[in-house]
Amino acid sequence: MFNKKILGAFATAAYIGVSALFPAVAQADSKTVKITAIVEHPALDAVRKGVKDVLGENGYKVGENLNWEFQSAQGDVGIAGQIAKKFVGENPDVIVAIATPSAQAAVASARGTIPIVFSAVTDPVAAKLVKSWKASGGSVTGVSDMLPLEKHLQLITDALPNAKTIGVPYNPGETNAVVLVENFKKIAESKGINVVTASAPSSGDVLMAVRSLVGKVDAIYVTTDNTIVSAFESVVKVGIDAQIPVFAGDTGSVERGAAAALGFDYYDIGRQTGQVVLDVLNGKTAGDIDVQGVEKTNLHINLGTAKQMGLTFDEQMVKKAAKVVE
């Protein structure tokens, strides 16, 4: 039995030796794209697919003229750092980093030597990935998944012209959620609308948090906060019981009961990112490209639950909708 162990050990040693001697071999005349995400998650996976599809549509075929490598940090910030270093050491044409911790690790390791395109980072300026949304030189750019908050606010005020206060449940431990809520508050208040928040550090706390908004708000708005979204049914229940219309930041929630949502698809964000990657591969300097926000939005409406929440949409809005759920 120990022989197998020795064999196994020798195999490991040989493998380590080989992999040390032969780093990822690049083919001549082909481009190398290394892509990483902090964790595997439907939204982040969709971004990756979007990037790959756009590259494919523009003549970059994996195995022919495109070296493509993906590594997931499996939720571990330490591993994200090691992945970043591995990528930098392999000197690709561009590194694509999905989500804030992976993007920060990539930028810290590359030190400006390799173009980096981030994606699905809500506030790239706060994350210190770029100095501003406008092209500011350097070698970093990307696509933010910051919600088009003005459009969301517009949606709510169009549906409820008399709304004065909006309630927002959120998880104070999610970076993106915190940023979104702060920004939404600023925008709403600049338009004379109050925002009341309720915090729910885990999905089990959502019901109670939303209940605390009853009697204080005219509408409830849920951002793309993973915690709240994961317990979305609780939010809908309170909305129906207390006759408070619930609006969401992502379209998936409309099927689960939100009255309406102006959402975007992470796949579309992926495609936008792919376009940026394409520009970089074709010679453009990353630092000369503006950071992009979400461009394509779709309006989804749920007439059934809207009615239960005491809300009727006018004809115009229903016509504009990309999808209507009865």
Partner 1 sequence: MSLIAFLGAIETGLLFGIVALGVFISFRVLDFPDLTVDGSLPMGAATSATLIVAGVNPFLSLLGAIIAGALAGLVTAWLNVRLGILHLLASILTMIALYSVNLRIMGKPNQALLGEETVFTPFEKLIDLPYYWVTPIVLFAVIVILLVLLNLFLSSETGLGMRATGVNGRMAAAQGINTGKMKLVGIALSNAMVALAGALFAQIQGGADITMGVGVIVVGLAAVILGEATFSTRTIILATIGCVVGSILYRVVVAVALNADFIGLQAQDLKLVTAVLVVLAMTLPGARQKWAKRKSVKGAGQ
- The residues that touch partner 1, with contacts defined as CB under 8 A, are 2, 5-6, 8-9, 12, 15-16, 19-20, 23-24, 40, 69-72, 74-86, 88-91, 100-101, 104-105, 107-109, 111, 126-129, 172-175, 178-179, 201
Distance in Å, CB of 107 to partner 1, minimum: 6
To the nearest whole angstrom, how small is the minimum distance from the Cβ of residue 264 to partner 1? Answer: 22
User: Is 107 or 159 the residue whose CB approaches partner 1 more closely?
Assistant: 107
Enumerate residues 6+ apart whose C-beta is below 8 A from 247: 152, 155, 156, 159, 219, 220, 221, 222, 258, 259, 260, 261
How far apart (Å, rounded) are the C-alpha atoms in residues 56 and 36?
18
CB of 59 or CB of 173, closer to partner 1: 173
State in angstroms the smallest separation of the CB of 43 from partner 1.
17
β-sheet bridge partners, residue 143? 119, 292
Residue 295: CB minimum distance to partner 1, A: 25
Q: Which residues contact 249 (CB under 8 A, 6 or more apart)?
A: 147, 152, 180, 221, 222, 223, 224, 261, 262, 263
**Contact assessment for residue 305 and residue 243, using Cβ atoms and an 8 Å cutoff:** no
- Residue closer to partner 1 (CB basis): 35 or 269: 35
What is the helix (H) or strand (E) element at residue 320, kind and residue range?
Answer: helix 315-320
The Cα 209–Cα 197 span in angstroms is: 9
Nearer to partner 1, 54 or 179 (CB): 179
Helix, strand, or coil (residue 273) = helix
Give the CA distances from residue 157 to residues 117, 153, 220, 286, 309, in Å, rounded to whole numbers and listed in that order. Answer: 35, 6, 12, 38, 16
Least distance to partner 1, CB of residue 209, Å = 15
With respect to partner 1, which residue has the nearer C-beta, 81 or 245?
81
- What Rg value do the Cα atoms of the chain yield, rounded? 23
The least distance separating partner 1 from the CB of residue 177, rounded to whole angstroms, comes to: 8
Residue with smaller CB distance to partner 1, 116 or 236:
116
